[in-house]
Structure 1
């Protein structure tokens, strides 16, 4: 009897509301595939989180550098600092909203107090600093937060070229007196001067919801 019931149920499902219109086997296969529960290993999830974090941090970096270069080209270094003061965080907010993640730059040598390293980031940033001081290559990292519901992607940020030294180098050598005046005006607690090319500036810190990472697989 059960077999007859299952057969009737299947027959009803196979036919559309219009009994003359049969649903194709391809449609059934697509539905079945979409309903399959994916069996994912932890290593697959971590690898996808790493790839996604790289994608997001690269886009954020590209947007910030592009906006800064345009501001310098149009109005000079001093106005570019004012531009960053107003626009840097909104640019990161736009990237965060686009990907439904929380993205920030974290640093002990911060310029904007909003970028000050947080407790859960400090040990990672310390490890990046140790590697930089000892000539060890810094690699991106994934850590689990909130019982694994959040995957924290981090990536070291280093001074890439002399352009950055206009704002982050040595005062009187790389940073002009006019630029220094603007920095002190906008960032009275500034700790982001005195760097050279290759120095660690901080790190990208991106909170990736585990559920969103799994959706990508």
Structure 2
């Protein structure tokens, strides 16, 4: 009888120890997954992201205007791909970051938003429901080893509607036929000036000393 009681005692102690261990370790595991970015580092990545966007927009804008004047809308559509710009590759190498545009209505299917990007786009769209809403860039941790920078992309001027407006009015049927030859699954039409086209999505690997 004493032997049975002794076995039962050790069994209870063992179960209690395991339970206590699980409870004490769970909060630690959750905490380890949350990486906070210091405000100074956040501002640093914000500045880098803005600079990359600014340089990229100026370069693509210049190429786009030139292509539009030379051969019209269909030719200009070819210059909307970020991969076509050697400058973008240079920027990615300098900043050790990846840069892309993401949208819910892509022309090039490679620009279709991921789940995280879709969340950011929807948040911006919700903000735009308020009058005079100011859409600001977002800097946040993505996992434990990547800082992500997001910034809105709007249809800035009426000229953009020649490629992204309503087919048959802003976008001529002939031009759109040529666009579809380049991008058979195109969905990037039907926009109005000032509407949200998508976002810039830039991702920086986090330096170990910043973690």
Aligned mate of 1:100, from 87, 96, 100: 96
Alpha-carbon distance change, 213 to 185 in structure 1, aligned in 2, over 3 angstroms: farther
Give the structure 2 partner of residue 65 of structure 1.
61
Alpha-carbon distance in structure 1 between the residues aligned to 2:179 and 2:65: 17
Cα distance in 2, alignment partners of residues 183 and 213 from structure 1: 47
2 CA distance for matches of 1:109 and 1:65?
20
Distance 1:213 1:67, change over 3 A: farther
Q: CA 1:112–1:212 in 2, change beyond 3 Å: closer, same or farther?
A: farther
Residue 210 of structure 1, CA deviation: 2.4
Kept in 2: contact 1:93–1:103 (CA 8 A): no
Verify: 1:129 aligned to 2:125, yes or no.
yes
Query: What are the residue-to-residue correspondences of 1:30-179 with 2, within 5 Å?
Result: 42-84=38-80, 88-91=82-85, 92-135=88-131, 136-147=133-144, 149-179=145-175
Using the size of structure 2 for normalisation, the TM-score is 0.75
Q: Whole-Å Cα distance in 1 between the matches of residues 209 and 46 of structure 2?
A: 10
Q: Which residue of 2 aligns with 1:29?
A: none
Distance 1:89 1:122 in 2: 21
* Displacement after TM superposition at 1:212 (Å): 9.3
SS at match of 2:207: helix
Check the 8 A contact 1:49/1:213 in 2, yes or no.
no
User: How much has 1:98 moved relative to structure 2?
Assistant: 3.5
State the SS of the aligned residue for 1:129.
Answer: helix
Residue pair 2:98, 2:203 contacting (<8 A) in 1 also: yes
Contact 1:45 1:213 (C-alpha < 8 Å) held by counterparts: no
Say how many residue pairs are matched.
171
What RMSD over aligned residues (CA atoms) do the two structures have, in Å? Answer: 1.9
Match of 1:211 among 181, 199, 207: 207
Aligned residues of 2:82 and 2:100 also touching (Cα < 8 A): no
- TM-score normalized with structure 1 length: 0.73
Contact kept, 8 Å, 2:100 with 2:200, in 1: the verdict is yes
Question: Which ranges of structure 1 fall in alignment gaps of 5 or more residues?
Answer: 1-40
Counterpart-to-counterpart distance in 1, 2:192 and 2:64: 19
Question: 3-state SS of the aligned residue for 1:179?
Answer: helix
